[in-house]
Amino acid sequence: MTAEANDKKTHFAPELHIPNGTFNIDFYIKFGATEHFIFRNDDGSIHVAELEIDGAIFHLHETMRWFEANEPVTAKGVTAVIGLFVDDVQEVFDRAIVAGATGITPVTDHDYGYRQAMFKDPFGHYWQIQKKISSGKSI
């Protein structure tokens, strides 16, 4: 799905907070994201960037203290888990690791009908890469 087609449907576009003074978001490009736009502050640091992974749009935004949103390092913990549905969980997980992510859980087929893996990106955001593989078992 293209970004233009995505604009015509209701969808989530998570905003991932990054530390003020961040100049480099190369991890996301190495991971396979396409940059739509990037706005920089006067010092060249990133204010906001819009990125897309196979039709899934997300934003990186410098931490804005006026509404008390923090990136995971300052918050000292996970602030959200980004769930990304893909066709090939292993390939996407491996691509993230090569780009600089840290593996949290390996690719696993679960009884509830999902193949999933989790990694942490260099800014501390957790991503759950997943694919529905069956209707799952009753719990």
pLDDT tens, residue by residue, 1-48: 455 555 566 677 888 989 999 999 999 999 999 999 999 999 999 999
Q: How many CA atoms lie less than 13 Å away from 110 in the CB half-sphere? A: 15
CB 59 within 8 A of CB 18: no
Whether 139 maps to a domain, the answer reads: no
Q: For residue 121, what are the domain limits? A: 3-132
Whether 138 maps to a domain, the answer reads: no
Per-residue pLDDT tens over the stretch 61-117: 998 765 566 777 777 777 788 999 999 999 999 999 999 999 999 999 999 899 999
Query: pTM (2 decimals)?
Result: 0.78
Strands laid side by side in the 126-132 sheet: 81-85, 126-132, 114-120, 102-109
Q: What span, in angstroms and rounded, lies between the C-alpha atoms of 110 and 114?
A: 5
Any idea what the CATH number is for the domain that residue 18 is in?
3.10.180.10
Whether 68 maps to a domain, the answer reads: yes
Q: Which one, of 71, 82, 59, 93, lies nearest residue 128 by Cα? A: 82
